[in-house]
Structure 1
């Protein structure tokens, strides 16, 4: 019953939105038939969603099945020892796109070479000397885990650490046996890399460029569907919380996925490297549209739950319909990789929404206290944001145009959009992060406890416990719980699947082709699961690996279940060791880390807000807006990912209602920062365009620039406010009041400027840009006012799981780990 309760919460927590559910009781006496039916209905809905077929999924599964069939044939015919390593290597390198598969294969080879070489050196130098071998293991393991948290290629050190442990599983292993094990595993891993990479590259290859374009286009189509929610009668609006939560999670995680595909595409095509800046711009614009339309869907659903229709005026309906058509047109052009000139001639959409906004009574969006009117105002505001994102898309589509039709749009002084260590605008990174060192120490302690235990009871098959302790020792409670659950569920499912094959089919097999059919079916099921989202893909990998251990322990069909039992018990032991260590020493909660990351994002924005002021050269190498945009996008995507991981912490939270409030309030804060980012970048480009004018004789210029100079301190004060949720910050209030005072002065000066006559054409253009700049400041003030209220209402509990937290008390943890390597 405990498993049913935990799995029910897993199904109902696909992202940061946590629906209200009926808790399944722990004791059989309280578990009636209706509750059981509800559990299995949720489970069925979850599996239908995650295991839904698609052409891309069929291709991915077919590639893995063919690669595993080739590997199985080699193992059985050539009598290769430890053949299951061929299978697990193929599964690991079988990434969603060919570029990622090649990179993963190279990293796996490098990690295996380093770990295997270190293990061979230890076996030769200290054979059967545990008092020396164990400390060296601990040092090598700890250093590998630390590097996996701090290096730009974390897969290499973590795999090197695991290879070192797996190559020499016991402290009494002699040198010859250790060297033989290490060499065979390195050979199998290298062969698996070759087979898996070739199948990924030549069998229905998924190029990262195509994946990026297809998913950008699909996001626009999904945005069109979400816009349609505001046009439907209340009875037809989507209100299912599970579907809404799934949609929100996909929007949350899309930014990180798209930037990863873009990076993989840059390895394959020079075209993507040349247009890196504009592709980042396109990704940001489409993500902005997705977030805005998700807000429209959420507000429409809130009204529909109460039986209230959105009741958009005719002007609003026509504007929304125009935005829907634009989504379809842009999606077709992006997916078809053909951007034609007619799309550049389309009228801007944002003007239509601004006219709609101006026609509303009073022109205000936040003053009304009627909740239904506030929801409609939220729809209008979000629709305007979506329109602005759609209007920006044509300027970021050079990689879809013919060379002669491409738009020249180079940022001032930008030679690269990636942040560099030499860039003075970015905070200096520390060479040594104590938090990462502490986290690596805790992971090493858990792994060594498992290692010493399995050697003390002479259990070679339990080496999986050490690997489990390494893999699930992640950087926050939510990520640890998620990966532990997926790992255990995959091992159990793979063993049960192999058990069915052993009992029903294996005894009747007398030839290799029949055995290949059985293993292909089993590995195909695992590959199908692995091709799903991050909520289930890791379970597919473990399913296939557990099945391979059962079906391929020898060089022929086997009915031995001991390897599977060893693996299942080893995984359980590894999870227990991790739980014991972290229950004592504690770890940061995902929500706390997400909040700290939001504060750091605001500090990066504060650094960026100095760009474009008159005392800075707009063509200086220091002024690279694209670098800031890339870093801000990365941090916002990371905050959303942490927010998603935080929901797994709620499995063991007694106050689930409080956890749901924390999640929703933190999501709102991140959404506000995402809105700040969009307006801030528009403001910075406006500033640089304004600086192109020679020296416009505009009286309002000094006032607008004085307003801009208050922005860095304002954003810094809000960063400190976010770090202290639930408390009113006098610094933030004073900085916001100072900003408003300068805003009033600038508004008066710019308004007086409009009454002047005799302005030259250049001065008139400068005046329009200055007025637009003031509009951006007003929009920033609105969002910051809302952020101040949201931060004050936010309460995020600290670590309440560990003994160390209980002894330390409820004080705020002042330093969170640094952002994961990009």
Structure 2
């Protein structure tokens, strides 16, 4: 990267708004408050839940609990399907029981001994936060525990009452109403969503094949036009499968079959999309031979049949096998010459076979195999892994996370008690709610929390001055507060970039109008709430810098390196198709998860101190280029792996020299990716051969063995596509290596603890 590039990157980054994700405030609000059908349903659900909690809290004379219950319900996913809602509700209710028991036992053992209560609470909250970080679950246990125990540590009897009654009431009121509403208002069956996702991907493949046929003048009626699935969507589809298994237990018996099916369809989509992207316009304009046209017609018809079978939940394997007869393919592609169209052909046959398996009676579990597996697990070792050093070394960051934020809550408790100002006790949950992965994420959430509290307080004042004096019935209360619940619900149903502001707006407004039964006279409540939040933000800001600070850019580098390590695993050649699911799925999910986390962290890095400096801006730009290239490379490596397994390649029959070059090329790619990961982590590189040089020898060996120069144009083009795929992989790897070096060059020469 030259100096001109540095100047351009820094100039562009300086002109990006640090608070509004690279846009102005108006553009940000326009995008985040945008209306669409799905958001209307989600917002309506949250509105009904909010209104229900407000009515119940007023009717049963438990207003203070209503505000906390409303914050909880606004914090959950408004777009959750039926399985996700049920899973979330059951799990959170279990956490409420655990929290109640912990709170009561703590107060019984140490309620009258402050010197023991605070350290014990510190340990419990740290453990709860550690568990939440490991499971990627909300910090509910720590938050509810702090409300019951730390809100009034000098009054243990009231604390026991709060733990025995308030926590269960809050849980039932919030989680119960949230779950019931989500299961009652347009509930979404996760199995139907899963089938719709599968059909959508098949429709996208069908559309591309139809476009290729249209290039040769073949008109396809009722052509399926749809958008391809977005990057990072594969993990969400796997999540739909988990949700479907909860609602439909029979689906769990087909778990492995569904996983294999989802992986096959994802691979088919990637191959066809890549083919669509690499074919040049002049090549498309050339007429197809009749043999090649027959292959495309069979592929398009088979894909349409697969899509219709998924949509209608019927077995179409026989129809697909008839369409994809081997003689049609062999008239175009010789069995001794692998091709991309052969890989696409075989992929559709595998999908048809898996769909056939889904429509057969579920096989009985092999009890002997289960017993053998159980015995193997028991003999692995009697010592649990969580008690070993390796477990804690691997999760040291999560342990630091729990210690740091629980310490903030304890410090805020001491400050509130020393000032004898219980009105600012919102500082305690602020420390726990603001518990995020990095400084940048902490700051962004803190800003949203503070802004939402301020706006909610202003709404509360407006309600008191304009509406309250004119209302004297519960119906009037509902009509007057409904617009504010609707506003909070609409903002909370937005993306994570703004949703938290809506949650805090609703909580602040509820804390004010639901503080007591009847008219509100305590106008100091919004002021104290904002002061408490500001205190929590300041305390956590100081602790973040003093104790194990986690900079977003440093964590992004670590996640980027982890993704590159996963991608290096894709370079190896699998011996047969039986290992495709077992070996590919974990790598696929791990790479996607780390790349997504790294992108989010780079986005959060713009809020951190010194983020506006030229070096920091250029480092973010270089790291973003690494992540973008890695995401593209992930798809290319998966296509290459499927090509090897499905294209008819008979690797064992190739000359020894060719096999040697192929293995050396795999090793060179893996070494380059591992070196790029080491660079991001600040470690020295290991020497290795240049992948481009080895590929030149491999290409020459393929050309000589298969006599590519003498092949018909279509088969020669198939080999050009194969070599083009390798060349694109080499270019992406080289780009990743260079961008990783650029990202490191912008870092300070002396290591900083902040990273």
TM range (shorter): 0.7 to 0.9
Contact 1:446 1:581 in 2 (8 A): yes
In the alignment, which residue of structure 1 is the partner of 2:596?
Answer: 640
In the alignment, which residue of structure 2 is the partner of 1:670?
Answer: 627
CA separation of 1:776/1:58 partners in 2, compared to 1, >3 Å: closer, same or farther?
closer
Question: Is 1:491 aligned to residue 431 of structure 2?
Answer: no
Q: How does 1:613-632 map to 2 (within 5 A)?
A: 613=575, 619=578, 623-632=579-588
3-state secondary structure, aligned to 1:534: coil
In the alignment, which residue of structure 2 is the partner of 1:370?
Answer: none
CA separation of 1:216/1:744 partners in 2, compared to 1, >3 Å: closer, same or farther?
closer
41-50 or 446-455, larger mean C-alpha shift: 41-50
Of 554, 566, 583, the residue aligned with 2:516 is 554
In the alignment, which residue of structure 2 is the partner of 1:231?
Answer: none
3-state secondary structure, aligned to 1:533: coil
CA separation of 1:456/1:401 partners in 2, compared to 1, >3 Å: closer, same or farther?
farther
Of 69, 84, 92, the residue aligned with 1:86 is 69
Give me the whole-angstrom Cα distance separating, in 2, the residues matched to 1:546 and 1:607: 49
In the alignment, which residue of structure 1 is the partner of 2:391?
Answer: 431
After TM superposition, give the deviation of residue 717 of structure 1 in Å.
4.3
Question: Is 1:205 aligned to residue 161 of structure 2?
Answer: no
Contact 1:721 1:732 in 2 (8 A): no
Question: Is 1:136 aligned to residue 85 of structure 2?
Answer: no
Give me the whole-angstrom Cα distance separating, in 2, the residues matched to 1:277 and 1:402: 11
After TM superposition, give the deviation of residue 260 of structure 1 in Å.
3.6
Question: Is 1:160 aligned to residue 117 of structure 2?
Answer: no
Give me the whole-angstrom Cα distance separating, in 2, the residues matched to 1:421 and 1:181: 43
3-state secondary structure, aligned to 1:747: helix
In the alignment, which residue of structure 2 is the partner of 1:786?
Answer: 735
Give me the whole-angstrom Cα distance separating, in 2, the residues matched to 1:559 and 1:472: 30
After TM superposition, give the deviation of residue 678 of structure 1 in Å.
2.4
After TM superposition, give the deviation of residue 510 of structure 1 in Å.
0.7
May I ask how many residue pairs the two structures share in their alignment? 671
After TM superposition, give the deviation of residue 474 of structure 1 in Å.
1.8
CA separation of 1:618/1:292 partners in 2, compared to 1, >3 Å: closer, same or farther?
closer
- Cα deviations across residues 195-238 of structure 1 (Å, max 9, x unaligned)? 22111101111334555666788899999999xxxxxxxxxxxx
In the alignment, which residue of structure 1 is the partner of 2:329?
Answer: none
In the alignment, which residue of structure 1 is the partner of 2:38?
Answer: 56
In the alignment, which residue of structure 2 is the partner of 1:594?
Answer: 556
Give me the whole-angstrom Cα distance separating, in 2, the residues matched to 1:528 and 1:84: 18
In the alignment, which residue of structure 2 is the partner of 1:533?
Answer: 495
Contact 1:718 1:732 in 2 (8 A): no
Question: Is 1:448 aligned to residue 427 of structure 2?
Answer: no
Contact 1:280 1:630 in 2 (8 A): no
CA RMSD of aligned residues (A): 5.2
CA separation of 1:288/1:505 partners in 2, compared to 1, >3 Å: closer, same or farther?
farther
In the alignment, which residue of structure 2 is the partner of 1:180?
Answer: 161
Contact 1:208 1:265 in 2 (8 A): yes
Give me the whole-angstrom Cα distance separating, in 2, the residues matched to 1:24 and 1:71: 38
3-state secondary structure, aligned to 2:425: helix
Contact 2:75 2:503 in 1 (8 A): yes
After TM superposition, give the deviation of residue 178 of structure 1 in Å.
0.9
Give me the whole-angstrom Cα distance separating, in 2, the residues matched to 1:338 and 1:70: 38
In the alignment, which residue of structure 2 is the partner of 1:577?
Answer: 539
3-state secondary structure, aligned to 2:428: helix
Give me the whole-angstrom Cα distance separating, in 2, the residues matched to 1:795 and 1:401: 51
Q: How does 1:709-720 map to 2 (within 5 A)?
A: 711-712=666-667, 714-720=669-675
Give me the whole-angstrom Cα distance separating, in 2, the residues matched to 1:289 and 1:657: 41
Contact 2:202 2:304 in 1 (8 A): no
In the alignment, which residue of structure 2 is the partner of 1:264?
Answer: 243
Give me the whole-angstrom Cα distance separating, in 2, the residues matched to 1:23 and 1:692: 50
After TM superposition, give the deviation of residue 134 of structure 1 in Å.
0.9
Contact 2:557 2:598 in 1 (8 A): no
- Cα deviations across residues 755-789 of structure 1 (Å, max 9, x unaligned)? 89xxxxxxxxxx99999977755553343333333
Q: How does 1:332-343 map to 2 (within 5 A)?
A: none
Question: Is 1:195 aligned to residue 170 of structure 2?
Answer: no
3-state secondary structure, aligned to 1:549: helix
- Cα deviations across residues 419-472 of structure 1 (Å, max 9, x unaligned)? x999x9xxx994112232223222233222222111111222323212111222
CA separation of 1:585/1:93 partners in 2, compared to 1, >3 Å: closer, same or farther?
closer
Q: Which runs of 5+ in 2 are unaligned?
A: 1-8, 209-226, 289-295, 325-339, 362-368, 371-375, 381-387
Contact 1:68 1:523 in 2 (8 A): yes
CA separation of 1:445/1:632 partners in 2, compared to 1, >3 Å: closer, same or farther?
same
After TM superposition, give the deviation of residue 556 of structure 1 in Å.
2.6
- Cα deviations across residues 59-99 of structure 1 (Å, max 9, x unaligned)? 22222222333333322222236232332333234531232
CA separation of 1:51/1:598 partners in 2, compared to 1, >3 Å: closer, same or farther?
same
Give me the whole-angstrom Cα distance separating, in 2, the residues matched to 1:636 and 1:40: 24
Give me the whole-angstrom Cα distance separating, in 2, the residues matched to 1:336 and 1:52: 31
Contact 1:465 1:573 in 2 (8 A): yes
Contact 1:278 1:398 in 2 (8 A): no
In the alignment, which residue of structure 2 is the partner of 1:524?
Answer: 486
- Cα deviations across residues 305-345 of structure 1 (Å, max 9, x unaligned)? xxxxxx966947999xx9xx99x999997996689989999
159-168 or 188-197, larger mean C-alpha shift: 188-197
CA separation of 1:183/1:394 partners in 2, compared to 1, >3 Å: closer, same or farther?
farther
Give me the whole-angstrom Cα distance separating, in 2, the residues matched to 1:477 and 1:331: 48
Contact 2:100 2:167 in 1 (8 A): yes
Question: Is 1:147 aligned to residue 147 of structure 2?
Answer: no
Give me the whole-angstrom Cα distance separating, in 2, the residues matched to 1:125 and 1:102: 35
Give me the whole-angstrom Cα distance separating, in 1, the residues matched to 2:21 and 2:435: 29
After TM superposition, give the deviation of residue 507 of structure 1 in Å.
1.7
After TM superposition, give the deviation of residue 545 of structure 1 in Å.
1.3
CA separation of 1:147/1:51 partners in 2, compared to 1, >3 Å: closer, same or farther?
same
Contact 2:125 2:406 in 1 (8 A): yes
CA separation of 1:522/1:650 partners in 2, compared to 1, >3 Å: closer, same or farther?
same
Contact 2:10 2:618 in 1 (8 A): no
Q: How does 1:394-413 map to 2 (within 5 A)?
A: none
Contact 1:523 1:544 in 2 (8 A): yes
Higher relative contact order (CA 8 A, sep 6+): 2
Q: Which runs of 5+ in 1 are unaligned?
A: 1-15, 27-37, 227-246, 297-310, 348-384, 407-413, 757-766, 801-808, 817-822
After TM superposition, give the deviation of residue 167 of structure 1 in Å.
0.1
- Cα deviations across residues 613-647 of structure 1 (Å, max 9, x unaligned)? 4xxx765xxx3545533433343343233323322
Give me the whole-angstrom Cα distance separating, in 1, the residues matched to 2:443 and 2:275: 31
Question: Is 1:810 aligned to residue 734 of structure 2?
Answer: no
In the alignment, which residue of structure 2 is the partner of 1:67?
Answer: 49
In the alignment, which residue of structure 2 is the partner of 1:44?
Answer: 26
